[in-house]
Each structure stands twice: as C-alpha cells, then as structure tokens.
C-alpha cells in the first residue's frame, strides 16, 4: 500500500443511547429483577448511566456472589421487552450515509452479543459486523483491529476508547453525558443527536481524501490527464496543477465524432485558464468493430482507443502516467466496461484511489472556484444510441443536433433544464430525458418536441434523467463488466 492509499472506510457505533433508546427495555427488566428478588434498585439511576458492563451495574445492587445469577436472569427475560426500544433521531440516515461513502458500519457495544443482535434485528438495522461485550480497552482494541476511521458514542468511555484507538470520535448527548464531559474525554465533535452526523462524516472524509489525493499526485510526479471537460477530470486536472505545477501536467482531450463541439470548446477554455498544456489528439473509435457494433461493452472499445492514443503521447513527452477521472462512485457503479479497458492499459485513477465521491468532488471544486463544480453529467454522444443499433457519425450528429435544438427551445420557453438527453431508440424514434421535476412541463409542450424533426416519434421518459439509462435495456449487463 502506498502512502497515499486509504484503508476501507469503517465507522464504529455504540448501541445503547447512540443508535437506540433502550432505556424502556432495560428499565422494565430491572423492575422485574427488583420485584422477583425483593431488592431495592433505583431504576431511574440505572437507566441514567447506561454504558458500563451489565455485571458492573448489577454489582451496585446485589452481593458479589449473586451477580452471576442475576446476569443470567437478566438476559433470560431481556428479549421479552425489546419491542419497547426506540430508534434515536438521525440514526437511519447516518447508517445510510456510511453506505453512501462506500463504507462499513460496525456496532461495538458493551452489551452481550445475543442481546445486541436482537436489538439490531428488531430495529431492522443492517450492519457489517457486531462486536459485543466490549468496554473501554475492548472497544479501543476492536477499533484498531478493524482500522476504523470514526467511532460514535454517547459515553465518556466511548470517547476515551476512540482517542486511544486514534480514530475520529463523535459524541452525542442522547445519553447521560454532557457535551463538556464528552469533549474532555476526547470527542473531536459533539452533536445533540445523529441528525448532523452525515454532514460531519462527509467533512471528515473529504478532508482526509483530499489529502490522500494530493499525496498520490505527489508520488506520481508527472502525468497526462485524460480530460473530458467534465467535473471529475476537470477537478483532477486542477489538483494536479496545484500539486505538480503546469510543467509536469498535460491535459489531453480526444477529438472524435462522439465529442460534442461545445464540450471541446469548454475543455479548451478550462485548460487555458489553468495555464496547462492542452493536447487534442484525434481518436478513431469508428475503426473498432466492437465500438461500431454498440453492444453492452461499447465503452470498453472507446476507452481502449483513448488510452491507446494518449499513452504513446505521454511516452513521447517523457511522462510515465496517464490518469483518468474515475471516482469512487464509478468504482462501485456495477457497469463500467471502460474502467476495465483503462486498467488493462495501466491508467492511474487518483480520485478513485483517494476514495473521493462525486459529491465530494463537486464540493471541493466549488471551494476551488472551478466553473465545472455544478456541470451536468455529459457522457459521450454514443451513449445516446440504444445498444444494438450500429454507431455511425451521422447518427451521432443527429443526436447532437437534436439536443442542441431542444435545449435552446426549452430555455427560450422558460424551462430551466440542466440535464438533457435525446436517446435514439432506432426506427427514427427518440426518447427525451430531462430533470425529473421538469418532466411534466416538457411533456406538455408538444410544440417544442415537434422541433426534433430528425425523428418521426418523440416521447418523454416519465422517470426523468438518470445516468446509464440505456444500461437498463440490457438483458444481462454482468457479461460486459
């Protein structure tokens, strides 16, 4: 592993009073124990200091020789009351945020694994792993063993464990500890509940991933960026220039019938603004039978042509690496034949290696003042042609002409379209995709759709724009991975 690479994201969560309000469950069980044994137990005090191991708490109310039996009885009746638990605010979104960051959520709790699992199942939480019967040093060890990045808890012992493990510690005041106590115990940030955790997680990861990106670029030393002009490759190009200087970075935008003229003009302007050398070699995808055939692996042949063209140019310039703008979301998108072609040809993927997601790239681009930060996705024109219909320059020009015409008509009609695709479905039929909130407005303007005179029939997709819509028509995309 190089110095720039990051381990997989693992986020640890405490259970009681961090994910779930288990006080009604625990209180009910202690009331039953008190009734069965005739022992006075201040249940309000017990549920007000959740966190320590069960045996430690029971030792406050029972003689030492009775504690093991009370532990057994407690666990025997505990499951009968789990239905009284409550999911705390922000928890569902926080677990989803970890998944969105391509990470794993691990519950690390002092609670016995059997009871903890019952709680998770009852709440419907899906986590990568459950570590039970872990307290203090046990939590710290579990975090270290899993190379965790973040730990979230409500107790000072949770914060101490996170600090000992060297992870970013997030405290929540949904338990019995105050913000001041959690901070003093080592919390990096304290929240009233987990509602704000997704934003905190994104901030922490973005900064770490940007640092990893810059370290990776420094390792590479010099590179040619395969620069499409989109948000990802534009950000990569700008960061490469910042880290390596214009003398060590070259932008390369391939010119072919599949590249809209407007995209080439914008790419030239962007590169000029950075002061970086900009090459515009011609590529010849049409000479590749696999590309023209337009099966599900068309992108493989397109990317192969790009790298087979740009790679020798880099070698002529004495630059060892060619980089693509592949990001972390692309890596798990499930259908990216072009990624395989680039990998086979030795292209590097600094954004992906650093774990940067599309949203993080857009955020960082905006912070840098890059004009591309909110640029709509702009896949090549070939992506508009339905699979199985042979690609030709004439078909690509027809699609580009249709999109240019329709975009101008929509803007002129006061319909503020951002994402727009005209999909060629064959037999002179086309399907229009626009932003989902504009579908109704566009569908009702048959006069504007009638301006697409290159097609006999034009429909509007009721689901709106979505990247890779043509992939949905493939019977078995797995074979093209």
Distance between CA 339 and CA 481 in Å, rounded? 9
Q: 308 with 238, same domain?
A: yes
Distance between CA 304 and CA 289 in Å, rounded? 12
Q: 324 with 392, same domain?
A: no
Q: 75 with 109, same domain?
A: yes
Q: Is 375 part of any domain?
A: no
Domain count within the chain? 3
pLDDT tens column, 369-423: 999 999 887 778 898 999 999 999 999 999 999 999 999 999 999 999 999 999 9
Distance between CA 73 and CA 29 in Å, rounded? 9
At residue 393's C-alpha, the angle toward residues 389 and 399, to 5°, is 70
Domain containing 391 — which CATH number? 3.30.300
Boundaries of domain holding 98: 1-194
Q: Collapsing DSSP states into helix, strand and coil, what is residue 40?
A: coil
Average of pLDDT values for 221-240?
96
Q: Is 202 part of any domain?
A: no
Distance between CA 169 and CA 189 in Å, rounded? 7
User: Looking at 368, 397, 428, which one is the last position of a domain?
Assistant: 368
Q: 189 with 219, same domain?
A: no
User: Looking at 328, 346, 368, which one is the last position of a domain?
Assistant: 368
Q: 41 with 176, same domain?
A: yes
- With 0-12 / 13-18 / 19 or more C-beta atoms within 10 angstroms meaning exposed / middle / buried, residue 476 is exposed
The pLDDT of residue 50 is 82
Q: 232 with 189, same domain?
A: no
Collect all residues with Cβ–Cβ distance below 8 Å to 227 and sequence separation of at least 6: 233, 234, 237, 251, 252, 253, 267, 271, 278, 325
pLDDT tens column, 145-165: 999 999 999 999 999 999 999
The answer to whether the CB of 235 falls within 8 A of the CB of 259 is no
Distance between CA 154 and CA 168 in Å, rounded? 14
Q: 229 with 342, same domain?
A: yes
User: Looking at 368, 395, 412, which one is the last position of a domain?
Assistant: 368
Q: 281 with 387, same domain?
A: no
Distance between CA 446 and CA 2 in Å, rounded? 56
Whether the pLDDT of residue 471 is over 80: the answer is no
Domain containing 325 — which CATH number? 3.40.50.620
Domain containing 40 — which CATH number? 3.40.50.1000
Q: Collapsing DSSP states into helix, strand and coil, what is residue 193?
A: coil
The number of beta carbons lying within 10 Å of the beta carbon of residue 34 is 15
Q: Is 204 part of any domain?
A: no
Q: 163 with 238, same domain?
A: no
Q: How do beta strands 321-323 and 20-21 pair?
A: unpaired
Collect all residues with Cβ–Cβ distance below 8 Å to 84 and sequence separation of at least 6: 24, 25, 28
Q: Is 12 part of any domain?
A: yes
Whether the pLDDT of residue 3 is over 50: the answer is no
The pLDDT of residue 60 is 96
Q: 342 with 468, same domain?
A: no
The answer to whether the CB of 310 falls within 8 A of the CB of 233 is no
């Amino acid at each position: 592993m190089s110095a720039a690479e990051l381990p997989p994201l693992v986020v640890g969560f405490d259970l009681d009073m961090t994910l779930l309000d288990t006080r009604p469950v625990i209180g009910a069980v202690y009331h039953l124990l008190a009734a069965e044994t005739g022992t006075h137990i201040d249940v309000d005090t017990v549920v007000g200091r959740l966190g320590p191991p069960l045996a430690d708490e029971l030792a406050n109310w029972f003689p030492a020789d009775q504690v093991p039996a009370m532990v057994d009885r407690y666990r025997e009746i505990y499951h009968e009351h789990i239905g009284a638990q409550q999911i705390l605010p922000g928890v569902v979104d926080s677990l989803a945020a970890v998944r969105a960051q391509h990470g794993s959520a691990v519950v690390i709790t002092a609670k016995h694994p059997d009871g903890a699992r019952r709680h998770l199942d009852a709440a419907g939480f899906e986590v990568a792993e459950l570590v039970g019967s872990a307290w203090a040093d046990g939590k710290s060890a579990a975090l270290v063993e899993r190379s965790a990045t973040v730990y979230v808890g409500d107790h000072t012992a949770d914060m101490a464990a996170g600090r000992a493990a060297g992870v970013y510690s997030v405290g929540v005041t949904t338990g019995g500890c105050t913000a001041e106590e959690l901070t003093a115990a080592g919390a990096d940030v304290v929240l009233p509940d987990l509602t704000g955790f997704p934003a905190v997680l994104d901030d922490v990861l973005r900064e770490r991933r940007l640092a990893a990106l810059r370290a990776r670029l420094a390792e590479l030393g010099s590179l040619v960026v395969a620069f499409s002009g989109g948000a990802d490759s534009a950000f990569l190009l700008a960061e490469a220039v910042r880290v390596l200087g214009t003398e060590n970075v070259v932008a390369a935008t391939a010119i072919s019938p599949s590249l809209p003229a407007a995209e080439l003009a914008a790419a030239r302007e962007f590169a000029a603004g950075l002061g970086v050398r900009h090459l515009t070699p011609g590529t010849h995808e049409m000479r590749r039978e696999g590309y023209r055939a337009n099966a599900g692996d068309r992108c493989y042949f397109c990317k192969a042509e790009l790298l087979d063209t740009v790679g020798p140019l880099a070698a002529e310039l004495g630059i060892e690496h060619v980089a693509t703008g592949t990001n972390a979301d692309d890596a798990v998108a499930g259908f990216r034949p072009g990624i395989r072609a680039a990998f086979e040809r030795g292209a590097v993927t600094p954004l992906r290696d650093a774990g940067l997601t599309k949203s993080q790239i857009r955020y960082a681009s905006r912070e840098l003042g890059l004009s591309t930060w909110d640029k709509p996705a702009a896949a090549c024109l070939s992506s508009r042609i339905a699979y199985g219909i042979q690609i030709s320059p004439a078909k690509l020009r027809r699609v580009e002409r249709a999109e240019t015409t329709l975009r101008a008509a929509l803007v002129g009609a006061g319909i503020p379209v951002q994402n727009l695709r005209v999909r060629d479905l064959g037999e002179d039929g086309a399907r229009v995709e626009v932003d989902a909130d504009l579908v109704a407005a566009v569908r009702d303007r048959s006069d504007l759709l009638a301006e697409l005179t290159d097609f006999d029939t034009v429909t509007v997709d009721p689901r709106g724009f979505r990247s890779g819509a043509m992939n949905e028509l493939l019977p078995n995309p797995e074979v093209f991975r």
